[in-house]
Amino acid sequence: MGLFDKIKKSLFGKSDEEEKKEEVKEDQQQEDVESEESSDKEVAEPVEQATEVEEATEPVQETEEEPTVESPSEVAQESEVVQPTEAEKVQSPEEPAAPVQETEQETQPEEVEEQEDEKDEDQKQTELYEKGLEKTNKGFGARLNAFFAKFRSVDENFFEDLEDLLIESDVGFETAEELTEQLRDEAKLQNAKSHDALKQVIVEKLVEIYDQNGDVEDEKLKSHQDGKPNIYLFVGVNGAGKTTTIGKLAKRFKDQGKSVLMAAADTFRAGAVEQLVEWGKRVDVPVVTGAEKADPASVVYDATERAIKENVDYLLVDTAGRLQNKKNLMAELEKIQRTIKKLAPDEPTETLLVLDGSTGQNALLQAKDFDKTTKLTGLVLTKLDGSSKGGVVLAIRNEMKLPVKLVGLGEKPEDLADFNAADYAIGLFHGLI
* One domain for residues 190 and 323: no
Annotated binding-site residues read 236-243, 318-322, 382-385
Instruction: Annotate 276-294 with b (16+ C-beta within 10 A) or e (fewer).
Output: beebbeebebebbbbeeeb
Instruction: Examine residue 265 and state whether it is found in any structural domain, yes or no.
Output: yes
Burial class from Cβ neighbours inside 10 Å (0-12, 13-18, 19+) for residue 82 reads exposed
CATH number at residue 415: 3.40.50.300
Phi first, then psi: give them for residue 264, nearest 5 degrees.
Answer: -95, 85
Instruction: Examine residue 258 and state whether it is found in any structural domain, yes or no.
Output: yes
Instruction: Examine residue 61 and state whether it is found in any structural domain, yes or no.
Output: no
Residue 58 pLDDT: 47
Residue 75 pLDDT: 39
- Angle 119-122-125 (CA atoms, 0-180°, nearest 5)? 150
CATH number at residue 167: 1.20.120.140
Instruction: Examine residue 56 and state whether it is found in any structural domain, yes or no.
Output: no
**Residue pair 176/167 in contact by the 8 Å Cβ criterion:** yes
- What is the rounded distance in angstroms from the CA atom of residue 237 to the CA atom of residue 424? 24
Domain boundary among 174, 194, 216: 216
* One domain for residues 270 and 396: yes
* One domain for residues 232 and 259: yes
* One domain for residues 276 and 403: yes
* One domain for residues 292 and 155: no
Instruction: Examine residue 64 and state whether it is found in any structural domain, yes or no.
Output: no
**Residue pair 210/397 in contact by the 8 Å Cβ criterion:** yes
Domain boundary among 152, 182, 216: 216
Instruction: Examine residue 171 and state whether it is found in any structural domain, yes or no.
Output: yes
Residue 198, domain extent: 124-216
Helix (H, G, I), strand (E, B) or coil at 89: helix
* One domain for residues 237 and 189: no
Burial class from Cβ neighbours inside 10 Å (0-12, 13-18, 19+) for residue 307 reads buried
Domain boundary among 163, 193, 216: 216
* One domain for residues 199 and 230: no
Instruction: Examine residue 16 and state whether it is found in any structural domain, yes or no.
Output: no
Residue 149 pLDDT: 79
Phi-psi map region of 347: left, alpha, beta (phi>0 left; psi -120 to 50 alpha): beta
Return averaged pLDDT per consecutive 10 residues of the chain, 433 residues in all.
56 52 64 65 52 47 44 44 46 47 50 62 71 69 78 81 84 83 76 72 75 70 93 93 95 96 90 94 96 91 97 96 71 92 96 87 84 88 71 78 85 86 74 61
Q: What is the CA radius of gyration of the chain?
A: 34
Residue 128 pLDDT: 73
350 has which bridge partners?
232
Instruction: Examine residue 50 and state whether it is found in any structural domain, yes or no.
Output: no
The answer to pTM > 0.85 is: no
Phi first, then psi: give them for residue 143, nearest 5 degrees.
Answer: -65, -40
Tell me which residue of 335, 362, 10 sits closest to 203, measured CA to CA: 10
Instruction: Please give the tally of structural domains in the chain.
Output: 2
* One domain for residues 296 and 398: yes
* One domain for residues 174 and 231: no
* One domain for residues 327 and 186: no
* One domain for residues 294 and 167: no
Residue 112 pLDDT: 60
- What is the rounded distance in angstroms from the CA atom of residue 396 to the CA atom of residue 355? 11
* One domain for residues 173 and 286: no
Annotated binding-site residues for GTP read 236-243, 318-322, 382-385
